[in-house]
Amino acid sequence: MGWVWLMTGCATEDAPLAGEGTPVLEQHDAPASSPGGSREAATPPVTTDTGAREESAEPSETDVRRSRYLRGTFHAGVAPETLAVGDFNRDGAQDVAVVSVGRSLQSQYRARPGKVSVLLNGGQGALGLPMLQGTLRSTSGQLEAGDLDGDGILDLLAGTRWGAAVLRGQPDGSFQTEDFMLANGVVSSLGILPGTGGAPALGWAVGSHYDGRDFPTGTAAIGFLRPGSGGAFMVTQPTTADGKPLVWMGEEYVVSEVADFNEDGHPDLVMSSSDRPVSLALGSALGPFTFQPVLTTHARALATADFDADGHADILVQDDAALRVYRGDGHGGFTEASATVPPLPVDRFRVVDLNADGAPDLAAVHRGASAVTLWYGQGNGAFRSGGRLAVGREPMDVAVAELDGTGRRELLVAEAGDNTLSVYRLPPPSILEPSTPRACPLRVSAGEAPATPAPLATLATGTRQPNSARGDFDGNGHADIAVVREGGGFTLLLNQGDGNFVTRDVRTDLYMLEMAAGDFNGDGHDDLAAITLDPEDYPYPEYSTLDLLWGNGQGDFPDSTRVSRTGAFGRIHLVAEDLNRDGHLDLVLSVTAYCVPYTRRLLNQGNGQMTGVTLPDLNLEPDDRCSDCFAPAIADFNRDGLPDILYHTVELNLGFTAPDGGNLPVDGFQRNWSHLDYSVGDVDGDGTVDLLTATKGEVDLYVGDGQGTFKAPLRCDVAPAGAVLEARDVNADGIPDLVGVDADARRAVLLLGQGQGTFLPARYYTLAEVPRWVRSMDLLGDARPELVIMTTTGQLTVYPTPEL
């Protein structure tokens, strides 16, 4: 197993921390409860963060201002949204299970699937890379670990949008997903009550009504799960005395908790929904449940624990204003004990034990503020401030664990925006860290760009077609250009090496739609892979075929081999690349089909014969929106030495290349729909491939996460108004530049990269007509690529190599 352990700006045990151990909140006595009754206290103590000290923090230009108490950051899949802690491989060290939801297409017809993974702990606090244990058709952001079947091995209960999935732990540390679902609907609450006194463990889940179009309608339901005979599970649905379910099928926003609130040895439920205030359903030996009201308010979330240390189960209610503790009396009655007013909107809270004193504490996640707030329980139902930490982007869940064997508890935070699980040391109670939203790491240096140089050469190609390819077609050692002709065939722009070109029309018997150049049969001459149409089929692309036109090294292509039909109904793209590194040039073909584009990987068998496979659509939905086709991007995203493919269907799909050239699908990525152009490269200089999407005057950066996938996007203020930019190394210095077209101003735009995400001010190349494309190629044979611009009217202009 490869360990990933990133130490970042953490405090040490030897370094004293300012304000450590200084309580700042007044303590309050809780009011007495009324046995067997239910009433809300008139003036419960209220806890706020007023009076706590806020640390100053210098904003970071490249990252969220994560807490200085950060101990380590670990990759946790794409967009981890919930976590559970446990010793899953039984080696004595606490591991972490996560459910990551990814960033693929999500719509009324499609929910994102969930991936359940485990990060194993090496015993010293370093967590390994996520090991996939199961894929869920959807996820609702709920996960719990416990021994459901009593075999001494931890199992997992994971919420989905149509019930809870059971993943049974295996002796080897893996998990097996059971073929049934517990409850129904969107699971908002679930848990595992450990078995005691000979009674078996109880798993439970509560789901809400859901009528989206991505699944059959989910109905609200509550389910109980107990181990049965022969290793099977028994699933029951709790009902009232007249046989009715505890929730009706159309109830929405149902939340619940399970405990023995009246201490009769049978599980009870406290619940709330959009239709009912907080209510208690008392279980019995005979099975049916009896309802009794508890509060007049509705709850957004519920939790249960013994907050006042009197031996009775209490409840914690999150409403629109506060987190309120209601003290249980052991007979099903509750009295408000305290109210804690969060400093920021709470997206999720967890009951935890921060300081191992046995008193329940609280940790609350503030997603928009990238922060986590802590409160210490006082043992009387009230809380005092435990500080606030600045964490990574989009925190989704929080837990407490002791990972490194020192006995010191630490905070674990699932940070969806950064694809990370981060470990933080607990701060002093007086510390309230401000969070600084992450800024794009790309920036433009101050100053003025040099004047635009005079062109080295211009050439009227006579074509308005955008498609072209480059290669040495006449064997003279200089880069030539092939461009599609208006009336059929293509024109070769044969480079004489001194800035002059000789033109030649070739294969006018075929209509050309797209082409890519390379030596596909290994004879030392550059060939053309081309999408062609026979004259009688023009202009209908659905009759187009992929052909290999064999170059003879003298600027002609007398022979050809037909590979396959394309079935295209629109734009087509071809990219030539040795995908499996076997020395033979392969092809990636992207085609606009009847509605949704598809991409094929065509592997060269060594003699120009191609075998193809269609790549999977990782954003597939039942009612796909029709979309145009965009060129695939080829790069080694996971740094294994093999080029991978980022390709477009309705959204972007990322597939890793297997050693045999096959496809290993990874994930889909939903982008800003106004950003139709995308490109890839290590634009921020951190050693990982990033994704750049763009439209006029806008750039979004998806930073590579080091494992081949991308973090959540960041808007970058680097594009001049009107310019559509892409990442490409224009001057061959190994550093990506930003280059593109400002069609309204009829100019090409170039920002030369200086490394580490810094770019020189924009340079403009103004032309008489709108630029069609901007490329860099060595036309003079001096190993220095010139800047080549083609306009929509077919005018080719060559500029000197851009200098820093």
- Write out pLDDT tens, residues 730-774: 999 999 999 999 999 999 999 999 999 999 999 999 999 999 999
Give me the residue spans of the domains in the chain: 38-432
Q: Helix (H, G, I), strand (E, B), or coil: what is residue 463?
A: coil
Average pLDDT, integer, range 565-594: 93
Average pLDDT, integer, range 721-734: 96
Instruction: Answer yes or no: is pLDDT of 306 > 80.
Output: yes
Query: Which pLDDT score is estimated for 351?
Result: 98
Lowest mean pLDDT among 213-222, 455-464, 703-712: 213-222
* Biggest alpha carbon–alpha carbon distance for the chain: 99
Query: Which pLDDT score is estimated for 213?
Result: 65
Sequence-ordered strand ranges (E) for 8-68: 38-39, 46-47, 53-54
Average pLDDT, integer, range 239-255: 93
Average pLDDT, the chain: 89
Instruction: Answer yes or no: is pLDDT of 34 > 80.
Output: no
Query: Which pLDDT score is estimated for 8?
Result: 35
Give this prediction's pTM. Answer: 0.90
d(CA 774, CA 747) in angstroms, rounded, equals: 10
d(CA 435, CA 414) in angstroms, rounded, equals: 16
Average pLDDT, integer, range 670-696: 93
Backbone angles phi and psi of 430, in degrees to 5: -85, -5
Lowest mean pLDDT among 34-43, 395-404, 492-501, 635-644: 34-43
Average pLDDT, integer, range 123-152: 95
Instruction: Answer yes or no: is pLDDT of 618 > 60.
Output: yes
Residue-wise pLDDT tens digits, 78-88? 999 999 999 99
pLDDT band at 25 (very low <50, low <70, confident <90, very high): very low
CB of 286 within 8 A of CB of 295?
Answer: no
Q: Which CATH number fits domain 38-432: 3.40.50.1100, 1.20.1630.10, 3.40.50.2300, 2.130.10.130?
A: 2.130.10.130
DSSP 439: P
Q: Rounded to the nearest 5 degrees, what angle is found at the Cα of 115, between the Cα atoms of 190 and 420? A: 95
d(CA 751, CA 760) in angstroms, rounded, equals: 6
Query: Which pLDDT score is estimated for 46?
Result: 59
Residue 71, judged by CB atoms within 10 A of its CB (0-12, 13-18, 19+), counts as buried
pLDDT > 70 in the chain, percent: 91
d(CA 677, CA 652) in angstroms, rounded, equals: 11
Contacts of 197 (CB under 8 A, 6+ apart): none
